[in-house]
């Protein structure tokens, strides 16, 4: 993480040099803008990343035919930033453009196609269309099983995506089976402090929490947090996610002061890089509101729960189960 400012400075210098020696729409400039966008995305500065990616795309649109395979990656990068900002309809639109280009230029079992199917599956998961999400992730796995070795990290990622869908559908045995497949591959193919391992430990922890095995859940959550603390900047949203999970576990065990401490840390981190209407913020407000409600502090609970509902109404589909649940939480507090 410490090398990102250095990388940014190096790419910015390269861009300045190129600007002086090349015409303003030269394809090499697009590469420089794209590289700077990648760094800003890694630094969780999504508005800046988007700005550089869009400039890169504009230049490429002038120099390449619309279905050139390279165009797909520029559309995909912009889709990814919209995804990170919680703007799922826009992200879906860019991902679909990227997939359409790749389908015209690549053989049907090419590993790049699997990546695009996975990205679209993630969008459908977030807008709660689980059958569609499952269909896209299964397409990705089908391609990867034909084109990659059985312990390839990309295959692990696809198994993980399917596990998440089953988890969200409440099918915990199936979810756990896919998460364990994922972890097994990652332990063979990745260094022990790799972030993908943190994600798998976290997901397995979620399942154990859901089936009421809190000691096992704690153990997996703590492994995940330890890796993230070594690898990520202290304001990274993924760290907030881990703090939120540990907070939820303390909440389930009625350990409200500890739950509040973890939930507040999560919210504090999220408020720095995320846009104010991001659904993850709504989740943290709800968690803090629920803790205050259980501690008997109803005015505070109401304030946080109102924030949660207000954000969720702007950022989630009206039938989203989280939005319904947070509204119910608010109604219960209003009646106290």
Q: Please give the average per-residue pLDDT across 85-95, as a whole number.
A: 95
With 0-12 CB in 10 A as exposed, 13-18 as middle and 19+ as buried, what is 217? buried
Nearest one of 34, 68, 35 to 54, comparing CA atoms: 34
Distance CA 277, CA 255 (A): 29
What does the mean pLDDT of the chain come to? Answer: 93
With 0-12 CB in 10 A as exposed, 13-18 as middle and 19+ as buried, what is 107? exposed
CA 198 to chain centre: 13
Residue 2 has pLDDT above 60, yes or no: no
Higher-pLDDT residue of 314 and 14 is: 314
Residue 1 has pLDDT above 60, yes or no: no
Q: Please give the average per-residue pLDDT across 121-140, as a whole number.
A: 96
Residue-wise pLDDT for 49-83, tens only, equals: 999 999 999 999 998 888 888 899 999 999 999 99
Distance CA 241, CA 236 (A): 9
**Residue 103 half-sphere exposure toward CB, CA atoms < 13 A:** 8
Domains of the chain plus CATH, in order, are 26-35+44-136 (1.25.40.10), 232-336 (1.25.40.10)
Q: Which residues contact 225 (CB under 8 A, 6 or more apart)?
A: 198, 239, 242, 243, 246
* DSSP letters spanning 209-229: HHTT-HHHHHHHHHHHHHHHH
Q: Tokens representing 126?
A: 């977030």
Residue 250 has pLDDT above 90, yes or no: yes
Task: Tally Cβ neighbours within 10 Å of residue 97.
Answer: 19
Q: Tokens representing 115?
A: 């990546």
Higher-pLDDT residue of 181 and 21 is: 181
DSSP state of 150: T
Q: 240 and 270 in contact (C-beta within 8 Å)?
A: yes
Nearest one of 183, 120, 177 to 153, comparing CA atoms: 183
């Amino acid at each position: 993480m410490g090398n990102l400012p250095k990388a940014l400075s190096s790419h910015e210098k390269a861009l300045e040099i190129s600007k002086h020696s090349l015409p303003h729409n030269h394809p090499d400039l697009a590469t420089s803008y794209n590289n700077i966008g990648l760094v800003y995305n890694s630094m969780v500065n999504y508005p800046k990343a988007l700005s550089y990616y869009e400039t890169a795309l504009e230049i490429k649109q002038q120099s390449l035919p619309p279905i050139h395979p390279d165009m797909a990656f520029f559309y995909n990068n912009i889709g990814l930033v919209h995804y990170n900002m919680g703007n799922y309809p826009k992200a879906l639109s860019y991902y679909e453009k990227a997939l359409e280009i790749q389908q015209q230029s690549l053989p049907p079992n090419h590993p790049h196609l699997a990546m695009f199917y996975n990205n679209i599956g993630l969008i459908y998961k977030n807008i709660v269309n689980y059958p569609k999400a499952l269909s896209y992730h299964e397409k990705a796995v089908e391609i990867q099983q034909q084109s990659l070795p059985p312990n390839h990290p990309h295959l692990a990622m696809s198994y993980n995506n399917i596990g998440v869908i089953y988890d969200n559908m409440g099918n915990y045995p199936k979810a756990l089976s896919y998460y364990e497949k994922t972890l097994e591959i990652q332990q063979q193919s990745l260094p022990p402090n790799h972030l993908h391992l943190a994600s798998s430990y976290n997901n397995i922890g979620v399942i154990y929490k859901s089936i009421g095995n809190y000691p096992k859940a704690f153990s997996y959550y703590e492994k995940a947090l330890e890796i993230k603390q070594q690898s990520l900047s202290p304001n990274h949203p993924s760290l907030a996610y881990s703090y939120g999970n540990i907070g939820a576990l303390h909440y389930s065990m009625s350990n409200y002061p500890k739950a509040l401490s973890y939930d507040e840390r999560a919210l504090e981190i999220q408020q720095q890089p995320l846009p104010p209407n991001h659904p993850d913020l709504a989740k943290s407000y709800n968690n803090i509101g629920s803790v205050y409600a259980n501690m008997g502090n109803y005015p505070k609970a109401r304030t946080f729960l109102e924030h949660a509902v207000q954000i969720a109404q702007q950022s989630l589909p009206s039938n989203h189960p989280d939005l319904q649940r947070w509204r119910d939480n608010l109604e219960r507090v209003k009646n106290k």
